[in-house]
């Protein structure tokens, strides 16, 4: 038993020596102490305390490097301000401003005395008040300038406290990295002179520049204002505008065809939802809710539709759903096949993923700029903007769902002779159906979130009422229209969620 423990200890010591590379006996002893009980064990690493962020950088613990660097920089800034900082700067500038104002008042007093103006007494009282304020500002400036010792003491105390905390936490963080390194040799290990040099240069730059900026704000103007030229932005903007103009002119046929297709699809959906008798549309929606999610959702759907009708939101709600339906239909029709293609070809998804990130990160209002430039305003533009905003979820969820299909299930299907088409339609898609339907649900809800934004470019519907309420501060009408949009979203969400539950 003793030999087994000895062998285990020797192997552990060998791993520790390989990991730390320097000061091996110390870390053997410290790690052995820390491994005796889970959680934090108190040890002190004075080398880490002295080197501070440089120690964490040399060990490759960069997250702690940044945190400690930030804290120590605050301490060094206080010390720098106390040693050579212009502490009375703001008060001195205030005193100079008061001096200029006081000189102006004295000139006004002299002019009033010559002309015998009735405002002479008021000007004298104002001058007396300015003289008092000037004396106070000058006194406060002198007092602030003399308070440098306080800043130095505070900075030193902060630095000592940070150093103590670093000494107490350094070995704990290193032991945690050692535990991760044992299971994954890609984790950074050892002491690197290159990393130490990088950490030193980074720390010196941050501390020096920050201390100068806060101690002597006027010493280097470049530290406060980024070097730029307004003409650069204007020139780049002109270039982007030229590209837009060329694209619009060259692709006029494509954009006209796109607009015609969007308008035709939208008109077809509006014929079904708007021009069809409202009892028929209402009964179909309620029946769909019942078949999809049950009686409770059907009752809620009926109540929500009654709200839309009784408060005169029916036609606008159906127009909104038509716009949403056109955008969602295109998004889903294009998104699911694209997601299937990306799931089977990771390199393609590596190209598509940044585009999806861009589409999801771009503020919704920004979509309106290129859409209006290429398509113009109106409902087709609203459909395109909504489609761009709502497409990424269905693509991402389709890829995720197909990637989560167990490989063992696919191998079993292939072993029984499944063709690639059979494997996709009878194995992959059924198993990924819940995830894909969650993506469809998110696409529909995100598309509905664009209703108000799309109204800015002429898309009709409930968003128009909300926009008018914002313009005229009609809170009551805005709340009612907002609730109408909410009910539309809830109806669609419950119906789609019901289908995803059935897919389970």
**Residue 487, C-beta contacts closer than 8 angstroms, at least 6 positions apart:** 304, 307, 308
Residue given tokens 């206080």 in the structure block: 78
CA 234, distance to chain mean position in Å, is: 27
- Cβ atoms 384, 375 nearer than 8 A: yes
Q: How confident is the model at residue 315 (pLDDT cuts 50, 70, 90)?
A: confident
CA distances from 18 to 14, 170, 182, 191, 213 (A): 6, 18, 11, 10, 43
- Cβ atoms 466, 449 nearer than 8 A: no
- Cβ atoms 436, 428 nearer than 8 A: no
Classify residue 219 by its DSSP letter.
Answer: T
Distance CA 383, CA 263 (A): 9
Q: Is the pLDDT of residue 89 over 70?
A: no
- Cβ atoms 58, 193 nearer than 8 A: yes
Of 124 and 69, the structure prediction assigns the larger pLDDT to 69
CA 191, distance to chain mean position in Å, is: 35
CA distances from 189 to 67, 167, 171, 196, 295 (A): 20, 19, 14, 13, 61
In 254-381, the DSSP E strands lie at none
Give the rounded percent of residues in the chain with a pLDDT score beyond 90. Answer: 19
Of 224 and 59, the structure prediction assigns the larger pLDDT to 59
CA distances from 471 to 75, 214, 466, 481 (A): 50, 44, 9, 14
Residue among 248, 440, 429 at smallest CA distance from 327? 440
Taking 3-state DSSP, the helix, strand and coil percentages for the chain, each rounded to the nearest 5, stand at 85, 0, 15
Q: Specify the pLDDT at position 144.
A: 63
Tokens of 407: 């490989």
**Residue 156, C-beta contacts closer than 8 angstroms, at least 6 positions apart:** 75, 79
Distance CA 212, CA 175 (A): 37
Assign residue 359 a region (left: φ > 0; alpha: ψ between -120 and 50; beta: otherwise): alpha
pLDDT tens, 58-82? 999 999 999 999 999 999 998 988 8
Q: Specify the pLDDT at position 58.
A: 93
Terminal Cα-to-Cα distance of the chain (whole angstroms): 54
**Residue 206, C-beta contacts closer than 8 angstroms, at least 6 positions apart:** 69, 73
Tokens of 463: 């968003």
Indicate the average pLDDT of the chain.
83
Q: Which of 156-170, 295-309, 359-373, 458-472 has the highest mean pLDDT?
A: 156-170
Q: Is the pLDDT of residue 503 over 50?
A: no
Residue among 167, 181, 173, 168 at smallest CA distance from 17? 181
- Cβ atoms 423, 303 nearer than 8 A: no
DSSP three-state, residue 38: coil
pLDDT tens, 111-123? 777 776 667 777 7
Question: CA angle at residue 288 from 284 to 289, to 5 degrees?
Answer: 120
Distance CA 277, CA 281 (A): 7
* CB atoms near residue 236 (< 10 Å): 10
Range name among 26-35, 431-440, 466-475 with the lowest pLDDT average: 466-475
* CB atoms near residue 177 (< 10 Å): 17
Q: How confident is the model at residue 454 (pLDDT cuts 50, 70, 90)?
A: confident
In terms of Cβ atoms closer than 10 Å to its own Cβ (0-12, 13-18, 19+), residue 63 is exposed
- Cβ atoms 359, 394 nearer than 8 A: no
Concatenating the DSSP letter of every residue in 249-274 gives HHTHHHHHHHHHHHHHHHHHHHIIII
**Residue 111, C-beta contacts closer than 8 angstroms, at least 6 positions apart:** 117
């Amino acid at each position: 038993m003793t030999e087994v423990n000895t062998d285990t200890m020797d192997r552990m010591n060998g791993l520790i020596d390989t990991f730390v590379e320097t000061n091996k006996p110390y870390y053997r002893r410290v790690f052995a102490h820390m491994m005796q009980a889970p959680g934090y064990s108190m040890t002190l690493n004075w080398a880490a305390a002295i080197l501070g962020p440089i120690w964490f950088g040399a060990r490759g613990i960069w997250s702690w490097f940044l945190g400690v660097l930030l804290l120590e920089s605050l301490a060094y800034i206080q010390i720098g301000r106390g040693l050579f900082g212009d502490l009375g700067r703001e008060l001195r500038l205030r005193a100079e401003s008061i001096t200029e104002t006081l000189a102006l008042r004295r000139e006004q007093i002299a002019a009033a005395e010559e002309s015998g103006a009735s405002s002479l007494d008021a000007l004298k009282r104002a001058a007396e008040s300015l003289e008092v304020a000037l004396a106070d500002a000058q006194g406060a400036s002198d007092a602030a300038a003399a308070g440098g010792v306080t800043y130095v003491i505070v900075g030193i105390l902060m630095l000592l406290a940070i150093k103590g905390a670093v000494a107490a936490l350094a070995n704990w963080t290193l032991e945690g990295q050692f535990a991760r390194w044992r299971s994954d040799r890609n984790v950074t290990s050892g002491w690197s002179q290159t990393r130490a040099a990088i950490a030193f240069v980074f720390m010196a730059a941050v501390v020096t520049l920050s201390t100068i900026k806060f101690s002597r704000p006027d010493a280097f103007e470049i530290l406060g204002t980024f070097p730029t030229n307004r003409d650069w932005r204007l020139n780049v903007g002109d270039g982007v505008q030229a590209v837009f103009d060329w694209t619009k002119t060259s692709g006029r046929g494509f954009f006209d065809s796109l607009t015609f297709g969007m308008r035709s699809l939208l008109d077809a959906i509006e014929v079904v939802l708007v021009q069809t008798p409202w009892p028929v549309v209402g009964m179909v929606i309620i029946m769909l809710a019942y078949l999809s999610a049950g009686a409770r959702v059907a009752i809620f759907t009926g109540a929500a539709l009654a709200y839309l009708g009784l408060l005169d939101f029916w036609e606008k709600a159906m127009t909104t759903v038509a716009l949403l339906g056109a955008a969602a239909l295109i998004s889903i029709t294009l998104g699911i096949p694209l997601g299937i293609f990306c799931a089977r070809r990771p390199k393609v998804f590596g190209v598509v993923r940044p585009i999806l990130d861009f589409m999801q990160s771009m503020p919704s209002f920004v979509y309106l700029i290129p859409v209006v430039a290429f398509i113009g305003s109106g409902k087709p533009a609203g459909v395109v903007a909504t489609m761009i905003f709502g497409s990424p979820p269905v693509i991402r969820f389709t890829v995720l769902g197909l990637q989560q299909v167990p490989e063992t299930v696919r191998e079993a299907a292939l072993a029984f002779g499944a063709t690639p088409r059979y494997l996709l339609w009878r194995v992959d898609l059924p198993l990924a159906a819940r995830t894909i339907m969650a993506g469809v649900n998110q696409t529909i809800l995100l598309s509905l979130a664009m209703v108000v934004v799309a109204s800015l470019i002429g898309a009709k519907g409930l968003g128009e009422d909300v926009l008018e309420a914002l313009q005229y501060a009609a809170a009551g009408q805005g709340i009612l229209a907002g609730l109408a949009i909410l009910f539309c979203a809830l109806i669609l969400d419950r119906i789609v969620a019901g289908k995803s539950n059935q897919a389970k």
